[in-house]
């Protein structure tokens, strides 16, 4: 009897869902918890969440003490909780990301299960968690991870509501959709509506089910959304500068991302991240890596089976409706960033889950070729990781705390990933299911083993906290002036140096230089913080890559370093009557300087004339 229970427990522990969950959990933990804040954006998001953990005003996020009205506050509220309890460490701020990733995988898995069966559930959850773009979103401290989680649950509710046969099921599905969209709105505004809304409209047109757009169950949940969103809007409106903040939230940050509007330069969002024709289509293979070729195989099979009866083709229709219309809309927007496509990834994952089920049942030669080509790409990924680890190991060997761990983890990870990729190639012809498993495990092994060592070394290039703390030590008791800082600079000074500074915004022009000169002379003890262009360089060859890199970076334990060649050239410094006081830089990273007033010239002594 006991052996039977142990056998049942072992089978449950080794079930596909359990193995997928364990593999995904490891990849998420490495990406979320094993590194610091990285540019771009993470230092800014960290500062906003850190301030949210103690500031009195909760309705409007703030960056370095100024209102930040690009996004609603829900993601910052949630990140502020572990920061308040544990501290502002990067791993603590990203703890909610682990929850978002789990919700995303669960939402897509349940959607795939409802539409394509139990086998597709595991594939859908694995796919949406391991696309290169969705992995980036999951591990990055930003509002995109909770947005993706909300959209995944909303699509599950939309599918349940659209295809329900009874009013009760339809209402429950659409209520789930609206609740998720309300939370998604509070994370990243109205962009949360795009994918589910376009999916429902596209399905109604495609399947000629116009009546679905008129059902009362579809719209009743709007009351739930309105209650959630209007409550927050009310608090913003009643707060300081409420009308101005709402204009930025809903006009500049929404309409202004699709076209240029009449607004100050700092609120012209259409001028940043400019879109170009075909940008998303060109970059799409990278977003879907390493499963790009499998998605192409899925599209081919979907085209060949387009005349399948409606019930059997539902997963394909819903997957395409949840991804293609959004791709078209994004392609027409004035701005473009890869993360804007992230909410459409659940649709792509559903398509891949449907293909995996169909290919496992009746593979053709193109399915086998796609699997083998993906295995070959993963082998190239192993080579790329090996090259990166070799360069990092050679250049940072002397500064490593544990060389044995670096070599062991890297070597084991590369060997295991290679063995899985080779196995996928070998069994693809006759055992499609095992080939899919092997590809998934090969990729997760790369993200857990070699990637963890890459993250450890990249952290030394991104340790902006050490620079900010070094600046604070060097400027102890003296006022600080931030001159033309970007958001990252403002964030790190606010979090790690001091919360009260004099800010002179960019661009660097005659008016800004004159204001800097005036402010510095009004407080002669002031030090000016400025970001330096480029990276520090050294003259002369050294004996080894490690020594060259050590001398090149000149990094000290406190995160600061004197530039060994010459003072950096700042053409405007003389006009502001400033000179270099101290400079700082990170390996392969940012450079900063503290400037001080030039000493006033002293008049030469003149001996009085007189007779001898």
Digit-coded pLDDT (tens) for 142-169: 999 999 999 999 999 999 999 999 999 9
Residue 261 CB contacts under 8 Å (≥ 6 apart), including other chains: 251, 252, 255, 268, 270
**Same structural domain for residues 102 and 225?**
yes
Within a domain: 245 = yes
231 with 375, same domain: the answer is: no
Do 389 and 474 reside in the same domain of the chain? no
SS3 417: helix
Assigned domain for 473 exists: yes
* Residue 374 lies inside a defined structural domain of this protein: yes
User: Half-sphere exposure of residue 275, counting CA atoms within 13 Å on the CB side?
Assistant: 24
Tokens at 267, concatenated? 């609120």
**Which pLDDT score, from 0 to 100, does residue 542 have?**
37
State whether 59 and 161 are in the same domain.
yes
Q: How confident is the model at residue 570 (pLDDT cuts 50, 70, 90)?
A: confident
Pair (230, 98) in one structural domain: yes
417 and 554 assigned to the same domain: no
Pair (173, 311) in one structural domain: yes
**377 within some domain:** yes
Please tell me whether residues 353 and 376 are part of one structural domain: no
Tell me: pLDDT of 333 over 90. no
Average pLDDT over residues 39-58: 95
Report the chain's mean pLDDT, rounded to a whole number: 87
pTM, two decimal places: 0.90
Residue 346 and residue 322 in contact, taking contact as beta carbons nearer than 8 Å: yes
Averaged pLDDT, 591-604: 82
Which region among 473-482, 518-527, 554-563 has the lowest average model confidence (pLDDT)?
554-563
Whether 112 is in a domain gets the answer yes
Whether the pLDDT of residue 272 is over 70: the answer is no
Is 11 within the bounds of a domain?
Answer: no
Task: Write out the residue range of the structural domain in which residue 132 sits.
Answer: 25-358
Last residue in a domain, options 422, 455, 488? 455
Q: Which tops the pLDDT comparison, 338 or 77? A: 77
Q: Write out pLDDT tens, residues 444-499.
A: 999 999 999 889 888 888 999 999 999 999 999 899 999 999 999 999 999 999 99
Question: Is 566 among the domain residues?
Answer: yes
Give the pLDDT score at 261: 61
- The domain boundary, picked from 358, 385, 410, lies at 358
Average pLDDT score over residue span 59-86: 95
Q: At residue 357, does pLDDT exceed 50?
A: yes
Q: Give the residue with greater pLDDT, 122 vs 334.
A: 122
Is 412 in the same domain as 432? yes
Residue closest to 148 by CA, chosen among 179, 114, 191, 197: 191
* Bigger pLDDT: 549 vs 457: 457
Q: Please indicate, yes or no, if residue 19 is contained in any of the structural domains.
A: no
Name the residue with higher pLDDT: 14 or 583. Answer: 583
Asked if 579 contacts 573 with a C-beta cutoff of 8 angstroms, the reply is yes
pLDDT at 543 over 80: no
Q: How confident is the model at residue 8 (pLDDT cuts 50, 70, 90)?
A: low
Do both 513 and 420 map to the same domain? no
Residues 80 and 144 in one domain: yes
Q: How many domains does the chain have?
A: 3
Tens-digit pLDDT profile for residues 190-204? 899 999 999 999 999
Last residue of a domain, one of 455, 473, 501: 455
Do 588 and 610 form a contact (C-beta atoms < 8 A)?
Answer: no
DSSP string, 191-249: GGGHHHHHHHHHHHHHTT-GGGGG-HHHHHTHHHHHHHHHHHHHHHHHSTTHHHHHHII
Do 225 and 266 lie in a common domain?
yes
Is residue 446 within 8 A of residue 460, CB to CB? The reply is: no
| Residue with more model confidence, 308 or 179 | 179
């Amino acid at each position: 009897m006991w052996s039977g229970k142990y056998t049942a427990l072992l089978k449950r522990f080794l079930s596909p869902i359990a193995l997928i969950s364990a593999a995904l959990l490891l990849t998420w933990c490495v990406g979320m918890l094993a590194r610091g804040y990285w540019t771009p954006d993470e230092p800014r998001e960290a500062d906003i969440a850190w301030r949210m953990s103690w500031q009195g005003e909760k309705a409007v996020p703030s960056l370095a003490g100024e209102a930040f009205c690009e996004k609603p506050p829900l993601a910052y509220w949630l990140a502020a909780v572990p920061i308040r309890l544990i501290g502002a460490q990067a791993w603590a701020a990203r703890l909610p990301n682990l929850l978002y990733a789990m919700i995303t995988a669960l939402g897509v898995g349940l959607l795939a299960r409802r539409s394509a069966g139990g086998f597709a559930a595991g594939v859908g959850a694995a796919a949406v968690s391991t696309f290169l773009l969705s992995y980036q979103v999951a591990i990055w401290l930003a509002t995109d991870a909770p947005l993706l989680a909300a959209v995944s649950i909303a699509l599950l509710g939309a599918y349940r509501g659209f295809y329900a046969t009874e009013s009760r099921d339809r209402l429950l599905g659409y209520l789930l959709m609206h609740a998720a969209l309300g939370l998604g709105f509070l994370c990243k505004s109205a962009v949360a509506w795009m994918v589910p809304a376009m999916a429902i409209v596209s399905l109604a047109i495609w399947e000629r089910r116009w009546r679905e757009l008129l059902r009362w169950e579809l719209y009743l949940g709007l009351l739930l959304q309105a209650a959630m969103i209007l409550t927050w809007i009310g608090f913003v409106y009643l707060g300081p500068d409420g009308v101005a903040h709402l204009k930025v939230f809903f006009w500049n940050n929404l309409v202004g991302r699709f076209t240029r509007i009449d607004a100050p330069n700092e609120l012209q969002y259409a001028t940043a991240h400019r879109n170009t024709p075909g940008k998303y289509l060109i970059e799409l293979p990278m977003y879907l890596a390493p499963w790009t070729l499998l998605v192409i195989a899925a599209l081919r099979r979907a085209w060949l089976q387009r005349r399948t009866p409606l019930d059997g083709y539902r997963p394909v229709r819903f997957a395409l409706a949840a991804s293609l219309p959004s791709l078209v809309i994004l392609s027409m927007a004035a701005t473009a960033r890869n993360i804007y496509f992230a909410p459409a990834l659940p649709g792509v994952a559903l398509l891949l889950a449907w293909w995996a089920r169909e290919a496992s049942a009746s593979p053709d030669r193109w399915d086998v070729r796609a699997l083998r080509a993906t295995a070959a790409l993963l082998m190239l990924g192993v080579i790329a990781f090996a090259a990166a680890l070799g360069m990092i190991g050679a250049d940072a060997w002397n500064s490593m705390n544990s060389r044995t761990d670096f070599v062991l983890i890297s070597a084991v990870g590369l060997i295991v990933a290679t063995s899985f990729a080779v196995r996928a190639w070998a069994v693809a012809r006759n055992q499609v299911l095992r080939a899919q498993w092997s590809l998934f495990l090969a990729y997760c092994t790369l993200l857990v083993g070699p990637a963890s060592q890459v993250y450890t070394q990249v952290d030394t290039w991104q340790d902006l906290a050490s620079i900010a703390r070094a600046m604070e030590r060097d400027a102890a008791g003296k006022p600080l002036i931030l001159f033309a800082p970007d958001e990252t600079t403002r964030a790190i000074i606010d979090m790690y140096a001091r919360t009260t500074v004099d800010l002179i915004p960019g661009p660097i022009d005659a008016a800004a230089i004159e204001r800097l000169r005036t402010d510095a002379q009004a407080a002669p003890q002031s030090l000016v913080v400025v970001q330096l262009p480029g990276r520090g360089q050294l003259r002369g060859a050294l004996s080894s890559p490690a020594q060259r890199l050590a001398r090149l970076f000149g990094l000290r334990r406190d995160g600061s370093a004197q530039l060994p060649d010459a003072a950096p050239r700042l053409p405007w410094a003389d006009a502001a009557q400033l000179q270099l006081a101290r400079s700082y830089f990170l390996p392969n990273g940012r450079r900063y300087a503290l400037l001080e007033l030039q000493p006033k010239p002293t008049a030469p002594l003149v001996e009085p004339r007189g007779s001898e």
